[in-house]
Amino acid sequence: MTISGQLEERVNKFDFAAAVAGTPPRTPAQRSNLLPLTALGYQMWREQSLTLLTGRPLPLVREAAYFRALCRPQAGQTWLDIGTSSGFYAGVLARTGAQVLACDISPAMLKVAARRESSPLIQYALLDAERSGLPDASFDGVTIGATLNETARPQQMLAEAQRLLRPGGQLWLMTLARDGSPLQAALGRFGGLSFPDEAQLCAWLPQLEWVGSWRRANVLFGQWIRA
């Protein structure tokens, strides 16, 4: 068993259709991730994405090192990876010995992730992280790698992450912050993407203390801790 019995039972009972009934429609960006072709190509994009977005080399190995150095995930902890896609953060976490519930709304992404990052410490689950139905304070840590930009309800996703953290638990965000560019305006208009800035993120996380953040171009890494 990769995660605690109670958590596992709730994950298994999660009724995906009921959870998403009545919620606002998915953004075009979210819908694009349901396509098997997007899922197949995602890891290739992810390996280059931060280098392309920042204009300077920022490989996954450096992103992983930065995350590990700041958050120090460890064996015995349970983490939630929100919008795992090809399982990047889930894999980084499992290699530290932490147990991971890696969720996504895209069955195609989950299939790719389970093939790419397979570990007895990782459980993949079809879950909407804006309405997970999981018990309060279930996790020692939550990672959200770029998923926040895709949803039409970033505030709801953060509220859910906050609710799911235990006291002392950490939230790690990698997100594209607002830069006021025409490109972001177009991505917002046609892709449904949103680009919250740091002040907005802190305002949406009233029960968490901001530990620090690091920004290169419009890529923002941030760490919060639940008081």
Ligand X SMILES: C[S@@+](CC[C@H](N)C(=O)[O-])C[C@H]1O[C@@H](n2cnc3c(N)ncnc32)[C@H](O)[C@@H]1O
User: 82: helix, coil or strand?
Assistant: strand
Token digits for 69? 């150095």
Q: Which CB, 13 or 227, lies closer to ligand X?
A: 13
| Cα gap 51→132, rounded to integer Å | 32
Q: Which CB, 130 or 140, lies closer to ligand X?
A: 130
Q: What is the dihedral of CA 170, 174, 180, 185, to 10 degrees?
A: -120
Residue 103 found at the interface with ligand X (CB under 6 A):
yes
Question: Mask 24-63, x = binds ligand X (CB under 6 A)?
Answer: ------x--x------------x-----------------
Residue 175 found at the interface with ligand X (CB under 6 A):
no
Residue 150 found at the interface with ligand X (CB under 6 A):
yes
Residue 83 found at the interface with ligand X (CB under 6 A):
yes
Amino acid at 165: L
User: 198: helix, coil or strand?
Assistant: helix
* Contact range with ligand X by CB under 6 A, out of 2-10, 79-87, 182-190, 197-205: 79-87
DSSP H helices, 60-217, are 60-71, 88-94, 107-116, 154-164, 182-191, 198-203
Where does this chain bind ligand X (CB under 6 A)? 30, 33, 46, 82-85, 88-89, 103-106, 109, 128-130, 145-147, 150-151
